[in-house]
Structure 1
Amino acid sequence: MLIYPCLLAQRSIADAIAVGRKIVGHLKHSALAYSCLEDIQGQLNQPIKRLQQDVQTRWNSTYYMLHSLIEQKRVLGVYVFEHELPDYLTAHQWTTVAILAPFEELTKKVSSYDALASDVMPAVTVLVRLLNRETDEDHGVKTMKATLLAAVKKRFSDVENNPLYFIPTILDPRYKDRFFSNNTAPEAKLHLKQKLQMMSRAEAEGSRAEAEEPPAKLFLKAQASTSSSLDTVFDEIAKEQPQAAQPLAAGAAIELDTYLREAPSPREDSPLKYWGVNKIRFPTLAKIARKYLAAPCSSVESERLFSSVSHIIDENRNSLTADNAEKLLFFIKKNNPATHFFSPLSESSEI
């Protein structure tokens, strides 16, 4: 995820990760040390679990490594009194690790197969609010939270001014205009209204040109075209009153006004299904939604696609033709709704 470099730039987090790798690496390379750790887990009536080693190129695995250390904190505390470890996390570093949970949850959300471009801006807004919020557990980590907050704001400073992000966010019925944090919602809605008017004008001109064609041509043309703390903040922002909207002109822009006046959809609902149901009520908005909501918010799913190829084309299937390999990968594994891996970019989209 794009937030990961912000985390690694923090010295306290980088130090905690380095210490965690030393601990896990020591126990992984010593069968005797791991046997002692498992004995302590049994004595403390803890489930027998192995610590997870991370892969440095995958942020999630780094978090899971640190999380596995937190789960075994009590066990490791007993172990370090009886045996030697190359290093150990300080009380401050244990707290630092706990703060990373929202980053991991958002990483999973925007890396999922059904994540849309509309998920980016709300994720950043929620993260900024969480880092701004003061809690009783902030003792000793306020500076780190402030540094993380500054890094996130800097990295995503222009996200609310980029139409590739703010247009799909407005057109996502779960978010609409509730997740703008820099008072940019009026300008974003004005920009979208102008696109609606341009689209309506273009369609009207196209209809007039088509109406002027001879009936024979029209006939031929017709024949040819036959989830935590994050959930709480998401709900909190969604229920807040939106900023006063600009007066909208008549025509397709009225669709936007009517759409924004309605309450946001539940976060677990599918925005694509919403537009499939409401495309008759908001025909022009639905066309723009189809265009902008089709974009994924990260490259994770495309990278997973390349990884999936290795499970289909191996030494036991080395005579597969390219055409058959494509069918196995896209039509069966990725685009079959029965496998829950259908893509919002497919031709069978609900919109």
Structure 2
Amino acid sequence: MDIVEKLIDFFYPWKVVLNELQKINGPSLFLVIPCITYARYELSNGDCKERSGMRFFYKRALQLLSSMFNMNEDYIVGAFLHPNYKQLRGANSTQISDCYTTCRLFIGPCSSSTETNERIYEPQEKKAKIFMSMLMDKQKKQQSTSDEVDRYISLVLDEDKQYENPLDFWKKKENQIAFPYLSRMARKYFSIPCSSSAVERQFSATGQIITQRQSSLNPLTVNDIIFLRSIENKYP
């Protein structure tokens, strides 16, 4: 029984991670980094606490954790676009820097085209001639060093504001006004699921609906049944 209890403790972090990554009723792309960081932390603690033969399993699991998961850039950006995970704990400095660059590249073309249109349609004001203006100090326009990404990074949320669904944050009008391009980017990235479990479940449910006795069901009817089933699972 002692060995069984140790095995249960060993597999518990994996159970938590799999349950989180297989969620289908909301955005899941941001969960990859927190889940891997959580699993690495729990396995490291288990390795430190364990003094028996189980320590080999913890060390081996830590090695497999690093080699099994390919940390795609989409996972990093997804975590960054979640307001509660934007500090990217668990990611290295290179991944964080690449994430910021990706966000700025997404913002760049959009913001530059908008500013160009505003300059085209804005009437130019005539400047009055000033005596000896050629000898006056040249006034350089100070450019703001803080862009939309920097302002989002420095955003501090209240302690009671914890978002399970990051789209709840981006749906707010004040956040869309403050971060117009990042909100658009969030809608794009959070439409990507982090795993194929949701699709596989839909195929499994369809296989239970279309049987030998119901092989002639209209595809539209099957689609309606699947749709109603998804609503039932979301709002039990």
1:283 shift after superposition:
1.6
Letter matched to residue 153 of structure 1: S
1:202 shift after superposition:
3.9
Report the counterpart of residue 224 of structure 1 in structure 2.
none
TM-score, normalization: structure 1?
A: 0.52
Q: Please say if residues 197 and 253 of structure 1, whose CA atoms lie closer than 8 Å, have aligned partners that are also in contact.
A: no
| 1:305 counterpart (192, 197, 202) | 202
> Pairwise CA RMSD of aligned residues?
3.1
Runs (5+) with no aligned partner, structure 2: 123-143
| 2:28 counterpart (105, 112, 116) | 116
1:289 shift after superposition:
0.4
Alignment of 1:244-323 (within 5 A): 249-259=145-155, 261-262=156-157, 269-277=164-172, 278-323=175-220
Report the counterpart of residue 191 of structure 1 in structure 2.
102
Report the counterpart of residue 125 of structure 1 in structure 2.
37
- Relative to structure 1, the CA distance from residue 272 to residue 151 in structure 2 (aligned partners, 3 Å threshold; closer, same or farther) is same
1:252 shift after superposition:
3.3
Alignment of 1:1-351 (within 5 A): 73=1, 91-92=2-3, 94-113=5-24, 114-133=26-45, 137-140=49-52, 141-156=54-69, 158-159=70-71, 162-184=72-94, 185-205=96-116, 207=117, 249-259=145-155, 261-262=156-157, 269-277=164-172, 278-330=175-227, 332-334=228-230, 336=231, 339-340=233-234
1:209 shift after superposition:
11
Q: Please say if residues 110 and 297 of structure 1, whose CA atoms lie closer than 8 Å, have aligned partners that are also in contact.
A: yes
SS in 1 for 2:194: coil
Letter matched to residue 132 of structure 1: S
- CA distance, structure 2, for counterparts of residue 136 and residue 252 of structure 1: 42
- CA distance, structure 1, for counterparts of residue 213 and residue 223 of structure 2: 17
Q: Please say if residues 197 and 252 of structure 1, whose CA atoms lie closer than 8 Å, have aligned partners that are also in contact.
A: no
Letter matched to residue 234 of structure 2: H
1:122 shift after superposition:
1.3
Q: Please say if residues 79 and 88 of structure 2, whose CA atoms lie closer than 8 Å, have aligned partners that are also in contact.
A: no
- CA distance, structure 1, for counterparts of residue 193 and residue 159 of structure 2: 21
1:167-225 Cα distance to aligned partner (Å, 9 max, x none): 111001231123234233244224323322233224445x569969xxxxxxxxxxxxx
- CA distance, structure 2, for counterparts of residue 142 and residue 339 of structure 1: 40
Q: Please say if residues 79 and 85 of structure 2, whose CA atoms lie closer than 8 Å, have aligned partners that are also in contact.
A: yes
Q: Please say if residues 104 and 149 of structure 2, whose CA atoms lie closer than 8 Å, have aligned partners that are also in contact.
A: yes
- CA distance, structure 2, for counterparts of residue 253 and residue 328 of structure 1: 43
Number of residue equivalences:
209
- CA distance, structure 2, for counterparts of residue 264 and residue 272 of structure 1: 18
Letter matched to residue 302 of structure 1: V
Identity %: 20
TM-score, normalization: structure 2?
A: 0.74
Runs (5+) with no aligned partner, structure 1: 1-72, 74-90, 213-247, 342-351
SS in 1 for 2:192: coil
- CA distance, structure 2, for counterparts of residue 325 and residue 163 of structure 1: 36
Q: Please say if residues 209 and 222 of structure 2, whose CA atoms lie closer than 8 Å, have aligned partners that are also in contact.
A: yes
- Relative to structure 1, the CA distance from residue 127 to residue 202 in structure 2 (aligned partners, 3 Å threshold; closer, same or farther) is farther
